[in-house]
Amino acid sequence: MVTKLANATGFKRVLDLCKGGRYREAEVLLKSLQDEYLAVCEENDALKKQLGEVAEVLDLSERVKFDGRKYWLEEEGELSGPFCQVCYDRDGLLINLQERGPRWECCHCKSIFLETVQEDRPAPRSTAKELPLFTDHEYA
């Protein structure tokens, strides 16, 4: 906001200098305003690029799914991967895991993920005891 105000007063100053016949001073001030404008344009381009990168990361994070051990990338309803949990959590990198028999290996960080049969896993159980909300008994 301060820069915009300074530029606005700078252009008025250039106009006043020209009206007073002080063209050399007006030229110097216009050059300074031009340099400021170019710097603002460069900063604007950098911020647009940064914003685009953030948007890409957010889009990617919405499409990455975690199965409890490895990451998968959902694209058009299909899952691709798996990807290394360590590399993604630590560095934000989607590194393909290599299947090596009953395990998956990350060639980047050397992590190993054992493959377990999903059907053999017991369903999670609640440790809380169920208490009835209503009973037919009267309390004394």
Domain count, the chain: 2
- pLDDT over 70 (residue 127): no
- Confidence (pLDDT) at 19: 92
Residue 136 within a domain: no
Question: How confident is the prediction for the chain on average, in pLDDT?
Answer: 78
Q: Are residues 47 and 81 in the same domain?
A: no
- Confidence (pLDDT) at 44: 93
Residue 72 within a domain: yes
Q: Are residues 77 and 101 in the same domain?
A: yes
Last residue of a domain, one of 18, 38, 60: 60
Mean pLDDT for 45-73 is: 85
Residue 46 within a domain: yes
Non-local (6+) Cβ contacts of 81 within 8 A are 70, 71, 72, 73, 94, 96, 97
In percent, how much of the chain has pLDDT > 90?
A: 31
- Confidence (pLDDT) at 68: 82
- Confidence (pLDDT) at 54: 83
Residue 51 within a domain: yes
Please tell me which residue, 6 or 59, carries the higher pLDDT value: 59
- pLDDT over 50 (residue 13): yes
Residue 135 within a domain: no
Residue 137 within a domain: no
- pLDDT over 80 (residue 51): yes
Q: Are residues 48 and 95 in the same domain?
A: no
User: Please, where are the H alpha helices in 85-140?
Assistant: 85-91
Q: Are residues 55 and 102 in the same domain?
A: no
Q: 104: buried, middle or exposed (CB in 10 Å: 19+, 13-18, 0-12)?
A: buried
**Structural domain that includes position 74:** 67-120
Residue 115 within a domain: yes
Confidence of residue 135 (pLDDT cuts 50, 70, 90): very low
- Confidence (pLDDT) at 122: 30
Q: Are residues 8 and 45 in the same domain?
A: yes
pLDDT tens digit string along 89-115? 898 888 989 988 888 899 899 888 887
Q: Are residues 53 and 76 in the same domain?
A: no
Q: Are residues 55 and 88 in the same domain?
A: no
Q: Are residues 46 and 96 in the same domain?
A: no
